[in-house]
Structure 1
Amino acid sequence: MLNRRMFAKGAALGGLSLMAGPLAGQHVFKEVNALHPGEFTWHPERSPYGPVSVVVSIDEQRVHVYRGGIRIAVSTCSTGKPGHETPTGVFVVLQKDRDHHSSTYNNAPMPNMNRLTWGGIALHAGNLPGYPASHGCIRLPLDFSARLFEVTHLGTPVIIGRSGSAPQSVVHPGLILGAYSEDEFERILSTLELRKHPSDWNLDEAHPITSMIASSHDERILLIENDREVAEGPLIWDGRPLGPHVYVLNGPDDGTRGMRWQALTYDDAARAEHDLTRVRSDDAFSSLISERSHPGMIFVFTDLPLHPDRRSGRDFVIMS
């Protein structure tokens, strides 16, 4: 643990606006709505393995961490103040730096930084006054940010919304977009096992990080691997609005012989029932998706155009 006097001295010299005590990070055993600024809960034993996803609620000033579809941690946070609002939508971790310094704000320290956009939005340790106070980043307690840094990887999805939305668990009867027969299930399992996400997976690994976006506006589905678009296919759906949903593939569900997803609506203004069966593509694109699927991949529904201005750079996206 940091000596408080040494920490305060270092913070003063380096411009770090972290405070000793609760604001530096205090692990507590409380109900989520009873957390005070700087407090957090951390229970990784609830789900030791599986893909990680992070949900940021701006209205609640809370960060929720899910692994394998189960919530393992909740922390207080501080998002962007008026005039510097934190953008909402679906992002992925683009870069990780345990000892990062801001290139925009006087070389200010940003410990345990998980970058979300190349324009400067990130998760990192910082001062938590109990209300939105940052220049757009999501500030976290120091101790919590260090723990979160250990479980994220490049490509970890981070969903930022105005209000919180507990994810649902949904099972698609087929694999991703295509149908398959019962006797193919074991073969599908064997291919997924080879593409499992280790906690420290980076862009240089043999199996790339995969994201999909389905746009009802453009009537197509885009497939992204790491930092490039690799394919697109026609979107075939029921014609109703898709709604702003994000799905994280957790892995196979042996009981239903299908794939289990963590499903979340990230905009309360357009809620709809989570139903992956509404969306499919042609056989050629579905086959391509099956070849590239892996636990931890994300699939986003949107009714917005697939415009490059809504992209944050490498990997995926801002959709808001």
Structure 2
Amino acid sequence: MGGAGLFGLVAGPLSGQHVYKEVHALLPGEFTWHPERQPYGPLAVVVSIDEQRAHVYRNGVRIAVSTCSTGKAGHETPTGVFVILQKDRDHRSSTYNNAPMPNMNRLTWDGIALHAGNLPGYPASHGCVRLPLEFSALLFELTHLGTPVIIAASNHDPIDVVHPGLILSGYADHEFDEVLSTLEPRKHPKDWKISDIHPITSIIASSTDAQLLVLENNEEVLQGDLIWDGKPLGSHVYTLKGPNEAAKGMHWEALTYDVAGRGGVSDLSRVGAGPEFNEKLRQYVHPGMLFVLTDLPLHPDHRSGRDFVIMS
């Protein structure tokens, strides 16, 4: 799972050091941590392979940045959209000689995770994302099952978007009130208790297949025709914050996870579905749901509900 041996979890670069620096000036093992900048709201983690940095956003505000180490040549860390599937504070690798992997947030069942590890200043893991020990412990306290983790070539800050999306066909008051009544009793994953079992919903729009697919955890529960302008969609992920009553629309946080997909991230008006699909979709909607736009096909090689939402 990406890091044989921590070579002793001791004070210093491996343990990590909280510093007050610009992001580009961080040295291996250094990180910034300012959760007070946004105490509440949904969390998202963006790992930038080019920068070897992990950015943490809460409610669209960046609250932390850390140096990291991703996969080395031959063991590259996959890019795409993932959700945290499992958390284990004292995990050990089943693949690499029982190596300790503290504060593990699992992203795939076949071995990709965020965890504490050695940070030499360049990609050096077997595919995982290594973090400073102290930073990984702080992050472990904030993440939850279903937290989106976007692994991308480079970082892009989230954009706040208010738009009906697929959930509403428009901004009509009566329709908004109907959806609001179904959303209110459904919790965001950050509010789940450990013993709670709730499905995590992801919607994927694929321009290649001209299809929409709805996943609940590892199950495909709904599929329908995608209605869009016929142009490439790019690579974007939207996290549903909840309803925006002032605008009578849905409140989303949008992130681009591919350099080629820059621009147009906030334009959800390009995609839609038929009324029958929209009506069925509403039973699966919850705050924290992901809506992913991609130009990749909906093939298991690129998408698996059990492992990841979409892998590029």
Question: Is the TM value for this pair above 0.5?
Answer: yes
Q: Does 1:16 align with 2:6?
A: yes
| Partners of 1:94 and 1:154 within 8 A in 2 | yes
Mark the CA change 1:312 to 1:188 in structure 2 (over 3 Å): closer, same or farther. Answer: closer
Per-residue deviation, residues 89-112 of structure 1 (Å, max 9, x unmatched): 111111111111001110000001
| Partners of 2:166 and 2:272 within 8 A in 1 | no
Shift of 1:174: 5.4
SS at match of 1:194: coil
Shift of 1:65: 1.0
Alignment-derived partner of residue 279 in structure 1: 271
Alignment-derived partner of residue 180 in structure 2: 189
Q: For the residues of structure 1 that align with 2:90 and 2:212, how far apart are their CA atoms?
A: 37
Shift of 1:70: 1.7
Runs of 4+ aligned residues of structure 1 deviating over 4 Å after TM superposition are none
AA aligned to 2:208 is: H
Q: For the residues of structure 2 that align with 1:109 and 1:249, how far apart are their CA atoms?
A: 35
Structure 1, unaligned runs of 5 or more: 1-13
Q: Does 1:163 align with 2:154?
A: yes
Worse overlay, 86-95 or 21-30: 21-30
Please show how residues 33-48 of structure 1 align to structure 2 within 5 Å.
Answer: 33-48=24-39
Q: For the residues of structure 2 that align with 1:245 and 1:202, how far apart are their CA atoms?
A: 29
SS at match of 1:99: strand
AA aligned to 1:20 is: A
Please show how residues 132-281 of structure 1 align to structure 2 within 5 Å.
Answer: 132-173=123-164, 176=167, 178-199=169-190, 201=192, 205=196, 207-274=198-265, 275-281=267-273
Shift of 1:48: 2.1
Q: For the residues of structure 2 that align with 1:279 and 1:268, how far apart are their CA atoms?
A: 21
| Partners of 2:107 and 2:307 within 8 A in 1 | no
Q: For the residues of structure 1 that align with 2:245 and 2:280, how far apart are their CA atoms?
A: 23
Please show how residues 292-311 of structure 1 align to structure 2 within 5 Å.
Answer: 292-311=284-303
Taking only the aligned residue pairs, the percentage that are identical comes to 71
SS at match of 1:22: coil
| Partners of 2:216 and 2:305 within 8 A in 1 | no
Alignment-derived partner of residue 65 in structure 1: 56
Mark the CA change 1:144 to 1:196 in structure 2 (over 3 Å): closer, same or farther. Answer: same
Structure 2, unaligned runs of 5 or more: none
Q: For the residues of structure 2 that align with 1:127 and 1:200, how far apart are their CA atoms?
A: 32
| Partners of 2:234 and 2:260 within 8 A in 1 | no
Q: For the residues of structure 2 that align with 1:75 and 1:159, how far apart are their CA atoms?
A: 15
Q: For the residues of structure 2 that align with 1:207 and 1:118, how far apart are their CA atoms?
A: 19
Per-residue deviation, residues 46-100 of structure 1 (Å, max 9, x unmatched): 2222221110000111111112222121111111111211111111111111111
| Partners of 2:108 and 2:308 within 8 A in 1 | no
| Partners of 2:72 and 2:126 within 8 A in 1 | yes
Q: For the residues of structure 1 that align with 2:121 and 2:249, how far apart are their CA atoms?
A: 43
SS at match of 1:73: strand
Shift of 1:303: 1.0
Worse overlay, 246-255 or 172-181: 172-181
Shift of 1:215: 0.6
- Higher helix fraction: Structure 1 or Structure 2? 1
Shift of 1:272: 3.6
Alignment-derived partner of residue 283 in structure 2: 291
Q: For the residues of structure 1 that align with 2:197 and 2:95, how far apart are their CA atoms?
A: 34
Shift of 1:175: 5.9
Per-residue deviation, residues 244-279 of structure 1 (Å, max 9, x unmatched): 111111222233221121111111123341211111
Per-residue deviation, residues 105-130 of structure 1 (Å, max 9, x unmatched): 10000001111112211100001111
- Computed over aligned residues only, the root mean square deviation of the Cα atoms, in angstroms, reads 2.1
Per-residue deviation, residues 220-244 of structure 1 (Å, max 9, x unmatched): 1000112211111110111111111
Q: For the residues of structure 2 that align with 1:175 and 1:206, how far apart are their CA atoms?
A: 25
